[in-house]
């Protein structure tokens, strides 16, 4: 009696449960840290601002001298960013000051440039009274040395990297990216651009899986194409082990046909098989197991099946292990046509999502759904999800969709 097919949600839960979060770390420069996950809490190495500074272009004065509109001041110097005035302000004196420049000794207010009148080359009059502490950025008002401002597990982006630089960090400890080795299998496959015989085809889905893996936060190892030969498959697995892959993804050859050698060869090498049949279409034969510390995902060979499985299982696994939040691809849209009743497998139907004049999301399934037709997948922007045993869905009814490009 055949074993029951595993529901999609249960399959994903088991795959994620077997995938441990990366714990190894590496040091990368700030320029290389975008999208990486911070490994440790990060403390500020300095106080910011490191001194009282002007927030505006204008004149630094003593508050006690500037409480009356019309008061006049002698200009005794200039304080610019990176070039502070070194004296001490006296009674009736002002220092020309530029934004970001250190506040001179003795000054406790800034009169903005627009509120002054030139009385000569070195003398000004103020148009209104000053407020004590006006237009001054106080030392440490942003953060102080020793403050923990970024925490372990945080995904680094443009704002957090700017903060890390302001904290005086040139490099950061981040979690190592998961290493994902990808192996295409089959005598019929050749690389794009290579000579091929009349009965061979171009290996295409490996490039889509690699792109998804990189976008999910992985370092990709291309193992090439292994022929339908035990020795070739073993050699590829050994290379994955030598490259210290965390995840090994095989494309094709994992079913039960005469030339499907991936599963028996993997088992002969010690793979523990978790499951390999899922109640979904396309993508029923998905092999999942563990081999010498590597998670193994054997994806089906038809390109559309391969890529749908990669979106549903490979991307979430990589992001889970990398410490990244899952991508939310799920939405709801209104079907533009009747959707037929479904059988016991969950269907992923290639479709086009569009916004109607009324502002609602409407989805239309592609006319053809053959799992070998890559063009239809490339021109689709979503998949309609038809749950197992779903009854006919009438046009105009809401249905769940999965965006291909969230």
Q: Are residues 229 and 212 in the same domain?
A: yes
Q: Are residues 190 and 294 in the same domain?
A: yes
How far is residue 115's CA from residue 313's CA, in Å, rounded to a whole number? 64
Q: Are residues 158 and 192 in the same domain?
A: no
Q: Are residues 125 and 147 in the same domain?
A: no
Q: Are residues 103 and 147 in the same domain?
A: no
Strand order in the sheet with 123-126: 109-112, 58-61, 93-97, 72-79, 123-126, 116-120
CATH of the domain at 364: 2.40.340.10
Q: Is residue 29 part of a domain?
A: yes
The arithmetic mean of pLDDT across residues 207-213, rounded, is 97
* DSSP characters over 331-357: EEEEESS-B----SSEEEEEEEEEE-T
Per-residue model confidence as pLDDT tens digits over 229-256: 999 999 999 999 999 999 999 999 766 6
- 183: pLDDT confidence band, cut at 50, 70 and 90? very high
Structural domains in the chain (count):
4
Q: Are residues 166 and 84 in the same domain?
A: no
Q: Which residues contact 47 (CB under 8 A, 6 or more apart)?
A: 139, 140, 143, 144, 145
Which one of 74, 109, 137 terminates a domain? 137
Q: Is 348 left (phi over 0), alpha (psi -120 to 50) or beta?
A: beta
pLDDT at 198 over 70: yes
Q: Is residue 2 part of a domain?
A: no
pLDDT at 33 over 50: yes
Q: Are residues 170 and 181 in the same domain?
A: no
CATH of the domain at 150: 3.90.105.10
Q: Are residues 29 and 167 in the same domain?
A: yes
- Count CA within 13 A, CB hemisphere, residue 356: 11
Q: Which residues contact 108 (CB under 8 A, 6 or more apart)?
A: 62, 63, 132, 133, 136
Which pLDDT belongs to residue 1? 40
- In 3D space, the residue among 11, 32, 111 whose CA is nearest the CA of residue 65 turns out to be 111
Q: Are residues 274 and 186 in the same domain?
A: yes
Q: Is 252 left (phi over 0), alpha (psi -120 to 50) or beta?
A: left
Which pLDDT belongs to residue 125? 97
- 257: pLDDT confidence band, cut at 50, 70 and 90? low
Alpha-carbon torsion (99, 104, 108, 110), positive or negative:
negative
CATH of the domain at 93: 2.170.190.11
- 259: pLDDT confidence band, cut at 50, 70 and 90? low
Q: Are residues 30 and 171 in the same domain?
A: yes
Give the domain range for residue 147: 25-48+142-175
Using the structure block, give the residue that is written with the tokens 């420069």: 29
Distance between terminal CA atoms of the chain?
A: 41
Per-residue model confidence as pLDDT tens digits over 353-405: 999 888 899 999 999 888 778 999 999 999 999 999 999 999 999 999 999 99
The arithmetic mean of pLDDT across residues 298-314, rounded, is 95
Give the whole-number percent of the chain exceeding pLDDT 90. 91
Q: Are residues 218 and 293 in the same domain?
A: yes
Q: Are residues 110 and 226 in the same domain?
A: no
Mean pLDDT of the chain: 94
How far is residue 217's CA from residue 219's CA, in Å, rounded to a whole number? 7
- pTM of this prediction? 0.88
């Amino acid at each position: 009696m055949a074993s029951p097919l595993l529901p999609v949600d249960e399959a994903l839960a088991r795959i994620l449960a077997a995938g441990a979060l990366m714990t190894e770390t590496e040091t990368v420069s700030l320029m290389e840290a975008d999208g990486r996950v911070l490994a440790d809490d990060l403390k500020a190495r300095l106080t910011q601002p490191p001194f009282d500074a002007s927030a505006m272009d204008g004149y630094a004065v003593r508050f006690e001298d500037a409480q009356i509109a019309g008061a006049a001041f002698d200009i005794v110097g200039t304080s610019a960013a990176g070039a502070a005035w070194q004296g001490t302000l006296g009674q009736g004196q002002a220092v020309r000051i530029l934004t970001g420049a250190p506040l001179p000794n003795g000054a406790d207010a800034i009169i903005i440039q627009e509120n002054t009148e030139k009385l000569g080359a070195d003398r000004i009059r103020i148009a209104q009274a000053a407020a004590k502490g006006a237009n001054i950025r106080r030392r440490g008002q942003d953060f102080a040395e020793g403050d923990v401002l970024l925490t372990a597990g945080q995904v680094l982006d443009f704002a957090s990297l700017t903060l890390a630089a302001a904290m005086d960090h040139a490099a950061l400890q981040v979690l190592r990216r998961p290493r994902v080795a990808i192996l295409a299998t089959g005598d019929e496959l050749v690389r794009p651009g290579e000579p091929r015989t009349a009965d061979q085809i171009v290996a295409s889905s490996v490039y889509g899986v690699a792109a998804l893996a990189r976008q999910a936060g992985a370092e990709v190892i291309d193992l090439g194409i292994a022929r339908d030969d035990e020795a070739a498959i073993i050699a590829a697995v050994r290379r994955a082990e030598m490259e210290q892959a965390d995840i090994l993804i095989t494309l094709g050859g994992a079913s039960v046909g005469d030339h499907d050698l991936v599963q028996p060869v993997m088992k002969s090498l010690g793979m523990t098989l978790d499951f390999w049949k899922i109640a979904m279409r396309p993508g029923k034969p998905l092999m999942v197991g563990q081999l010498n510390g590597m998670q193994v995902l054997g994806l089906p060979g038809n390109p559309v099946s391969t890529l749908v499985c990669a979106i549903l299982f490979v991307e979430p696994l990589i992001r889970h292990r990398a410490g990244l939040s899952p991508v939310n691809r799920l939405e709801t849209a209104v079907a533009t046509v009747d959707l037929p009743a479904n059988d016991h497998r969950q269907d992923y139907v290639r479709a086009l999502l569009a916004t109607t004049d009324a502002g609602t999301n409407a989805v239309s399934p592609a006319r053809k759904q053959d799992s070998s037709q890559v063009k239809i997948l490339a021109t689709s922007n979503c998949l309609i999800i038809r749950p197992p045993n779903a009854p006919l869905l009438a046009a105009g009814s809401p249905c769940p969709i999965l965006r291909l490009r969230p």
